Amino acid sequence: MTIASSSLPETNRFSLIEKEILELFVQLAAVISYPRSIGELYGILFISPDPMCTDDLIERLGMSKGSASQGLKVLRTLGAIKTVYIPGDRRGHYQAELNVRKIISGFMRQQVAPNLAEAHERLERIDELLKSDEDPNRDWILLRLRDLHRWSKNSEKLAPLVAKLLVK
């Protein structure tokens, strides 16, 4: 995967180093199932020496306003970028958050925790269904359900530890 300079406006070519850094963040975004635009936005803010406004990001990356706005919203929610005030400029400007602990904490809070909570609720619904179910494999299902409960409990304990390990 490389960012083709032909898809960028002629005046906004990226240096080889910028392309590689952007591609690194695009790959990292893909690993956690985020769209390419999220990686590109974070990457360009990461390598920019100055805060950038939405219009500058759109122009530099050649992306739509909707894609940029949505991506910035996701990055703000995760705590991966911060809003910076520029005196005399009414536009919002953004800068990459460099504190990995904050970024991972935001990801865990926004992505992992809700999924673990949803899995726990689903297991409770399955428990309720099994109380009245006459499935011939009921005993086998109960054994598997016990495994799922154990996995769920371990995941809830493990998630905060993983977050701490990743930032050391």
Sign of the alpha-carbon torsion through 50, 55, 58, 60: negative
| pLDDT grade for 150, boundaries at 50, 70 and 90 | confident
Reply yes or no on whether the pLDDT at 165 is more than 80. no
Quote the CA–CA distance of 118 and 152 in Å, as a whole number. 10
- For tokens 């809070």, what's the residue? 109
Residues 3-59 have pLDDT tens digits of 444 344 344 478 899 999 999 999 999 988 899 999 999 999 999 999 999 999 999
- The pLDDT tens digits of the residues spanning 78-99 come to 899 999 998 888 898 999 998 8
Q: What is the pLDDT of residue 3?
A: 45
Binned at pLDDT 50, 70 and 90, residue 2 comes out as very low
Average of per-residue pLDDT across 60-72: 95
Q: Kindly state the tokens that stand for 38.
A: 């999220």
Among residues 86, 73, 2, the alpha carbon closest in space to that of 38 is found at 73
Provide the whole-model pTM. Answer: 0.70
Q: Lowest-confidence range among 134-143, 146-155, 158-167? A: 158-167
- 139 DSSP assignment: H
Q: What is the predicted pLDDT for the residue at 7? A: 44
Q: How confident is the model at residue 104 (pLDDT cuts 50, 70, 90)?
A: confident
